Amino acid sequence: MNALRTCAALVAVVCLLAACEKRAAESAYAGNGRALAKPDAAASAAGGQRQRAMLAYEHIVEIHLPADRIVPRLQAARAACDTGKFGECVVLNVGEQGGDFPSGTLTVRIEPRGVEPMIALAGEGAELGSRSTHAEDLAVVLRHNGIEVTLAKREKCCGMPKFELGDLESIDRSMRINVPELARWIDEGWDIVAPIPSCVLMFKQELPLLYPEDALVAKVRDAMFDPFEYLMLRHRAGRLRTDFKRELGKISYHVACHLRVQTPGLKTRDLLQLIPHTQVEPIERCSGHDGTYGVKSEYREISMKIGRPVMNRVQNSSADFYASDCPMAARQIESGLEPAGGRVPEPTHPLKLLRMAYGL
C-alpha cells in the first residue's frame, strides 16, 4: 500500500498507495498549529483575504500507483514545493514506509492556487483512491466573527515536550525558529492564537522565564492568546457574534492543567455558557496524562489512577457532551470511560462545540 497524502488549501498531504487497498485518513481531534488572526478584518473581505480564508481547509488525497514509483513521485512533488513551482510552498513532512504495503506521505503548506496543481502532479498517471476535506474549527469560528486568519509559514513544535524532559538545547533551537517568525507576523499587525493550552503556556510563560531579556520573546508573549480568551476579549468589546443556531445542553468540561496555570479564568466555560440552554460543568483536576508522562507504558497504571476522579465525574455526569481544551487530556479521559449504548463516547473539542452552536 502506498500513500502520498495531500492536505491542500494551505496544507497539502499526498498519500501514495502502491496496492489497491485503501487506508482511511483520520481527522485530528484538534489542530496543533498557531493561527494568526487580524481582529479588524471583515468576514466578507475580497481578493487576498478571501484566499487566506481557504487556509482553514485541509485536503487529504490518496493516490494508488506501483510501488517503484512512490519515491520518485515523492521527490518530484517535494521539488515542486521547494522551487515554488505552483506558488509559495513549504515542506512540513516527508515519510516513507517499506514492507508488504509500502507508502509515502508528503505534507506541504502551499498557497491556495497551488493546491490542485500539486495534487495533479502527485497523481499523474495514477489512480485516485480517495479525497476528503476537513475544516479547522478554530479558523471557521474566527472567520465567522470577522477575523482574518492565516498560518505561520515557518514554525516548529513550541518545545513544551522537550521542556518537560529538561532538553534545553532542543528548546533553544525551536525558539530561534519560532520566535523570529511569529514576531515578524506581529509586526505586520497579526495576533497569535494557538488551540493547544500547552503551546500558549510555552510562549506566554515558560519561554519568557527562560529568556527574560529577549525582546522578541516578550513581543510574542504579549500577542499570544488562548482562543477562548481571545474571543471573550472580543465579547467584552461587543464584537462577538452571539447568533447561535443550536443549543448544546449539558457539557462536562475538563479544564486543562496548562490552561489553569495561565490564570485567564474559565473563558471556555464563560463563552459556551453564552449559548442558550447550555450548561457547562467544569472539572478542575488533572486527567493524569501530564504531558509526556501519560504516554509512557511504565506509568500507564499510575496515570489512570490519577485521572480516575475526572473520568468518574464525566461518566456519571449524564452530559450531552464532554470536552477538554487539551486533546491529550480528552483522549486520556476517553480511555477510562465505560461503554454507553455499546460504545465509548468520544470527546468533542470546545472549539467544535462552538462551531456547532453557530451552525457552521
Residue 313 belongs to domain with CATH number: 3.40.50
Would residue 146 count as lying in a domain?
A: no
Which residues span the domain enclosing 250? 239-358
User: Could you tell me if 110 and 165 lie in one domain?
Assistant: no
Grid cell, residue 230, equals 481571545
Do 13 and 126 belong together in one domain? yes
* Same domain flag for 243 and 294: yes
Give the alpha-carbon dihedral of 274, 237, 181, 117, to 10 degrees.
60
pLDDT score for 19: 35
Residue located via cell numbers 509559495: 88
**129 and 62, same domain (yes or no):** yes
For the chain, helix, strand, coil in percent to 5 are 40, 20, 35
Domain limit, last residue, from 193, 225, 257: 225
**Quick one: pLDDT at residue 343?**
79
Reduced to 3 states (helix: H, G, I; strand: E, B; else coil), residue 131 is strand
Report, as an integer, the average pLDDT of 36-55.
42
**Is the torsion defined by CA of 287, 225, 190, 208 positive or negative?**
negative
- Cα 85 off chain centre by: 27
Q: Report d(CA 227, CA 273) in Å as an integer.
A: 16
Same structural domain, 93 and 206: no
Is a pLDDT exceeding 50 seen at residue 24?
no
Specify whether 10 is located in the same domain as 123: yes
In a 3-state reduction of DSSP, which class is residue 283? strand
For residue 53, being part of any structural domain is answered with: yes
pTM for this predicted structure:
0.71
Final residue before a domain boundary, out of 225, 253, 272: 225
User: Which set of grid coordinates corresponds to residue 36?
Assistant: 494568526
State the average pLDDT over residues 190-204.
90
Same domain, 183 and 299: no
pLDDT class of 3 with cuts at 50, 70, 90: very low
CA–CA separation, 247 and 311 (whole Å): 24
Cα–Cα distance for residue pair 337/316, rounded to 1 Å: 10
Burial of 27 (0-12, 13-18, 19+ CB in 10 A): exposed
Alpha carbons 15 and 34: distance in angstroms, whole number: 24
What DSSP character marks residue 136? Answer: -
Over 60: is that where the pLDDT of 181 sits? yes
Percent of the chain topping pLDDT 70: 82
Q: Examine residue 314 and state whether it is found in any structural domain, yes or no.
A: yes
Among residues 136, 171, 203, the one where a domain terminates is 136
Query: Taking a C-beta distance cutoff of 8 angstroms, is the pair 250, 318 a contact?
Result: yes
Q: Is residue 145 part of a domain?
A: no
90: in domain = yes
Q: Are residues 43 and 65 in the same domain?
A: yes
**pLDDT tier, 35 (very low <50, low <70, confident <90, very high otherwise):** low
Q: Find cell 522551487 and name the residue.
A: 83
Domain check: are 79 and 36 in the same one?
yes
Q: Which is it for the CA torsion 73, 74, 79, 80, positive or negative?
A: positive
Alpha helices in 64-214 (DSSP H): 70-82, 115-122, 137-144, 160-164, 168-187, 197-201, 207-210
When divided into structural domains, the chain yields a total of 3
Q: Is residue 232 part of a domain?
A: no
pLDDT at 15 over 80: no
Average pLDDT in the 161-172 region?
A: 89
The answer to whether position 64 is within a domain reads yes
Residue 268 lies inside a defined structural domain of this protein: yes
One domain, residues 118 and 173: no
Say yes or no: 218 and 263 in one domain.
Answer: no
- Per-residue pLDDT at 344: 81
Quick one: 131 and 187 in the same domain?
A: no
